[in-house]
Amino acid sequence: MTGYPREELEEMVQRWLQANKDAEKHGDWSTHLGKMYTEDAEYSWNIGPNEEFIAHGRDEICDLALGYQMKGFEKWQYPYHDIIIDEKRGTVIGFWKQLAPYQREDGTPYQIAGVGGSWFEYAGDYKWRWQKDFFDLGNAKAIFFELAGAGLLEPVVKEKIHRQARGALLPGHRKLRPEPKSWQKAKNMMAMVKIAMTGS
Residue pair 94/86 in contact (Cβ under 8 Å)? The answer is no
Q: Rounded distance, CA 164 to CA 30, Å?
A: 24
Assigned domain for 1 exists: no
How much is the pLDDT for 121?
A: 98
C-alpha angle with apex 185: 180 to 188, nearest 5 degrees?
Answer: 120
How much is the pLDDT for 42?
A: 98
Assigned domain for 149 exists: yes
Q: Rounded distance, CA 127 to CA 121, Å?
A: 9
How much is the pLDDT for 194?
A: 85
State the residue range of the domain holding 185: 6-198
Regions of the chain with pLDDT less than 50: none
pLDDT tens profile 29-71: 999 999 999 999 999 999 988 999 999 999 999 999 999 999 9
83: CATH: 3.10.450.50
Q: Rounded distance, CA 122 to CA 91, Å?
A: 6
pTM of the model: 0.90
- Produce one character per residue of 53-68: b if its CB has 16 or more CB atoms within 10 Å, e if not: bbbeebebbbbbbbbb
Assigned domain for 87 exists: yes
Domain count, the chain: 1
The conformational region for residue 167 under phi > 0 = left, psi -120 to 50 = alpha, else beta, is left
How much is the pLDDT for 53?
A: 97
